[in-house]
Amino acid sequence: MSEITDDVLVSIRNLRIRFDVRDGIVNAVDGANFTIRRGKTLGVIGESGCGKSMTAKAIMNMVPKPGVMTGEVTLYKRHVENGSQVVEEIRIDQLDKDGEEIRNIRGGVITMIFQEPMSSLTPVFTAGLHIMEAVKLHRFLPIESIGDTMTRNIQKKREVSPEEAREIAIDMLQKVGLPNAAQRVDSYPHQLSGGQRQRVMIAIALSTHPELLIADEPTTALDVSIEAQILDLMRELQETVDMAILFITHNMGVIAEMADEMVVMYMGKEVEEGSVVDIFENPKHPYTRLLLASIPEIGEKKRELATIKGMTPSPFNLPTGCVFHPRCPDFMPGKCDVVKPLLATVAKNQNARCLMYDPCWPNTAEAQAVKAKA
């Protein structure tokens, strides 16, 4: 997943986010590399503290203080210039955090929905005002054309008027399936249920026609029946508006239903990446394998769930070598605790960060035996 082709929307190279705090240094994200493709859904999965939310913040250049971000986050923004489509390369990591350019991207080209629909809406704004705010800042309409193709090229854009913004807001609320959108547009967040609030969040996020929607655990706080509604809605909308989704979750079921490709993260590193079907059917990294075996699945009666022994290490005191080695069932003493594994190709379009698959690894009988076991 490395070469930059036409369908790449965001490419993340060697992303590191470091927090220098009193107790030491935490590498919240430690060398992440992945690509978000246009119109596709990339799922990021991992347990709490693995750096998945921080990666999302890095894409928006919103890493909170005292975090320091290094590496490359490149956005390939499409726009029309002189009647032809051009792709502009924007290095998000190099933009001024409070500058004009990044503020146009945030909420415009890239939007985000959060886990907690209550605390991410302002209680003093109506649902409509939330959407109108985004629309006013990020959506521009073409000035009435005189009817000549020549002039179309030199058209300027104008801001939407308040009346138009309200119309767009009602239209968006209708699109996300809020009943009585024309009245609900004037409802305050506390008058809406959890599922309705999340619909409003999605309406805000989609009102500016983003190219990328970052969904950070969007259904975790919702009930299953509402979760099903929201997931269906997101899929439907994605089909109609052609946007990419970065879907962050810890729920294997949700990722299996939503994503095309996925990244499994552990302690700030991606340990496995590939297509969702490949990873669910043929997980290569021991962590992914155990994670999949450890979830109780509806319709399957397991006597005992597989467990990952121990717990996630303290970020201040990471194990040497492979960070997963103290919990790994395939631990190779003298190797895994010494050598940091690199991301290696294990199958077509599937990479794993494990010494068993590392091509540089000496081809000893012992290593082969472990490989065969896997």
For residue 347, give every residue at least 6 positions away whose Cβ sits within 8 Å of its Cβ, in sequence order, or none. Answer: 274, 278, 282, 284
Site for another protein in 302-331 (CB under 8 A): 302, 304-308, 311-312
**Which of 33, 41, 55, 196 lies at the binding interface for another protein (CB under 8 A)?**
196
Q: Rounded distance, CA 249 to CA 46, Å?
A: 7
Cβ atoms < 10 Å from Cβ of 73: 22
Tell me: does residue 348 bind another protein (CB under 8 A).
Answer: no
Tell me: does residue 231 bind another protein (CB under 8 A).
Answer: yes
Tokens of 142: 């073409």
C-beta of 235: minimal distance to another protein in Å? Answer: 11
C-beta of 155: minimal distance to another protein in Å? Answer: 42
Q: Which of 115, 121, 157 is nearest to 139 (CA)?
A: 157
* Residue 221 CA: distances (Å) to CA of 188, 195, 258: 19, 9, 17
Q: Which of 101, 97, 100 is nearest to 89 (CA)?
A: 101
Tell me: does residue 27 bind another protein (CB under 8 A).
Answer: no
Tokens of 162: 């308040």
Tell me: does residue 224 bind another protein (CB under 8 A).
Answer: yes
By C-beta, is 18 or 327 nearer to another protein?
A: 327
**Which of 195, 210, 283, 315 lies at the binding interface for another protein (CB under 8 A)?**
195
Backbone dihedral angles phi then psi of residue 61, each to the nearest 5 degrees: 55, 50
Contact 358, 315 (CB under 8 A): no
Contact 175, 74 (CB under 8 A): no
Contact 115, 220 (CB under 8 A): yes
**Which of 141, 277, 338, 369 lies at the binding interface for another protein (CB under 8 A)?**
277
By C-beta, is 239 or 281 nearer to another protein?
A: 281
Tell me: does residue 371 bind another protein (CB under 8 A).
Answer: no
Q: Which of 138, 209, 198 is nearest to 171 (CA)?
A: 209
Q: Indicate the residue type of 274.
A: G
**Which of 129, 226, 241, 339 lies at the binding interface for another protein (CB under 8 A)?**
226
* Residue 266 CA: distances (Å) to CA of 43, 75, 302, 313: 14, 25, 26, 10
**Which of 301, 334, 359, 365 lies at the binding interface for another protein (CB under 8 A)?**
301
Tell me: does residue 253 bind another protein (CB under 8 A).
Answer: yes
By C-beta, is 63 or 264 nearer to another protein?
A: 264
C-beta of 22: minimal distance to another protein in Å? Answer: 16
Q: Which of 138, 129, 133 is nearest to 110 (CA)?
A: 138
Q: Rounded distance, CA 250 to CA 247, Å?
A: 10
**Which of 70, 151, 191, 294 lies at the binding interface for another protein (CB under 8 A)?**
294
Contact 198, 117 (CB under 8 A): yes
Q: Rounded distance, CA 18 to CA 113, Å?
A: 24
Backbone dihedral angles phi then psi of residue 91, each to the nearest 5 degrees: -85, 100
Cis upstream peptide for 66 (omega within 30°): yes
Tell me: does residue 23 bind another protein (CB under 8 A).
Answer: no
* Sign of the torsion formed by the C-alpha atoms of 272, 274, 276 and 278: negative
| Binding piece for another protein, criterion CB under 8 A, among 56-64, 90-98, 226-234, 343-351 | 226-234
C-beta of 302: minimal distance to another protein in Å? Answer: 7
By C-beta, is 50 or 206 nearer to another protein?
A: 50
By C-beta, is 161 or 294 nearer to another protein?
A: 294
Tell me: does residue 280 bind another protein (CB under 8 A).
Answer: yes
C-beta of 184: minimal distance to another protein in Å? Answer: 13
Tell me: does residue 276 bind another protein (CB under 8 A).
Answer: yes
By C-beta, is 172 or 290 nearer to another protein?
A: 290
C-beta of 27: minimal distance to another protein in Å? Answer: 19
Site string for another protein, 147-186 (x = CB under 8 A): --------------------------------x-------
Binding site for another protein (CB under 8 A): 47-48, 179, 193, 195-196, 223-229, 231-232, 250-257, 276-277, 280-281, 290-292, 294-302, 304-308, 311-312
